[in-house]
């Protein structure tokens, strides 16, 4: 445990002494809240009644902010390969599993903070804007809305861990970012062009983004998966990516 604490301290020191990661986190928070605000302002509920989920609508920005989280996670490991610092890292901490665990812990903590700010700003914007656009009964204190908000923060953390695992396995920043963004956005693109409803449902259930974002839904039956089942699917993707990253990190030269 002492070794892990030392490794976490070392990784945190790297992050806070470099301007890029912190600025990227700030950008994630601002972009997420800004897109959510714009989405809430753009939609009006017709007199006949609303069919859109106000919680999901107010959290639209998470779909865009996740790209920044993915890039941050990729840079945490791929950046060290690009500069050669990874050799210094594994020399100082020979246990590579500990190094990866420390990076994952620091990343999760950073995304947790930035995600909480981003989601909090998004929900607040929705609370202020949506009632004026005809949406009634939307309250951040409502149980399903709280679950959607908290689940969105967890979603961003899991996307970060998924990205870290992929980047550890791939090493190259551009390639890793491409793989992660492909995994996130490919499934909904494929689902949008298939005509078979069974295939569509399977793609929605299997995709890390479509499954994970089911946690934002507060309307019964509107998603292919339940909120917690969706997060479980994303957790499985993140776990598999981290295990693959750990295996490749352990068995190859730096």
Q: What pTM did the predictor assign? A: 0.93
Spacing of C-alpha 14 from chain mean position: 22
Number of structural domains (the chain) is 1
pLDDT recorded at residue 203: 87
d(CA 15, CA 19): 8
Domain of residue 133 covers 2-43+50-251
Q: Predicted confidence band at 62 (pLDDT cuts at 50, 70, 90)?
A: very high
pLDDT tens track for 115-134? 999 999 999 999 999 988 88
pLDDT recorded at residue 201: 87
Task: Judge whether 108 and 157 are in contact, CB under 8 Å.
Answer: yes
Question: Please, is 193 exposed, middle or buried when counting C-beta atoms within 10 Å of its C-beta (0-12, 13-18, 19+)?
Answer: exposed
pLDDT recorded at residue 215: 95
Q: Predicted confidence band at 47 (pLDDT cuts at 50, 70, 90)?
A: low
Q: Predicted confidence band at 253 (pLDDT cuts at 50, 70, 90)?
A: low
Q: Say which residues have a Cβ less than 8 Å from residue 76's Cβ, sequence separation at least 6.
A: 11, 15, 21, 103, 106, 107, 164, 167
């Amino acid at each position: 445990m002492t070794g892990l604490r030392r490794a976490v301290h070392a990784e945190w020191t790297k992050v806070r002494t470099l301007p890029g990661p912190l600025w990227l986190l700030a950008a994630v928070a601002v972009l997420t809240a800004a897109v959510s605000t714009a989405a809430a302002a753009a939609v009006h509920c017709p007199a006949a009644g609303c069919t859109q989920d106000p919680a999901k609508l107010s959290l639209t920005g998470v779909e865009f902010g996740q790209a920044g989280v993915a890039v941050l996670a990729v840079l945490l490991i791929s950046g060290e390969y690009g500069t050669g610092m990874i050799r210094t890292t594994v020399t100082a901490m020979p246990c590579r599993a500990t190094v990866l665990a420390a990076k994952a812990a620091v990343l999760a903590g950073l995304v947790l903070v930035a995600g909480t700010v981003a989601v909090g700003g998004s929900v607040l914007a929705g609370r202020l804007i949506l009632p004026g656009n005809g949406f009634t009964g939307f309250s951040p204190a409502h149980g399903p809305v709280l679950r959607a908000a908290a689940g969105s923060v967890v979603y961003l953390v899991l996307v970060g861990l998924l990205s870290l695992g992929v980047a550890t396995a791939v090493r190259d920043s551009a390639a890793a970012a491409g793989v992660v963004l492909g995994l996130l956005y490919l499934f909904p693109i494929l689902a949008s062009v298939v005509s078979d409803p069974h295939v569509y449902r399977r793609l929605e259930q299997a995709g890390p983004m479509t499954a994970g974002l089911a946690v934002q839904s507060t309307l019964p039956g509107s998603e292919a998966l339940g909120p917690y089942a969706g997060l479980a699917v994303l957790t499985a993707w993140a776990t598999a990516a981290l295990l693959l990253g750990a295996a490749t990190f352990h068995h190859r030269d730096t």
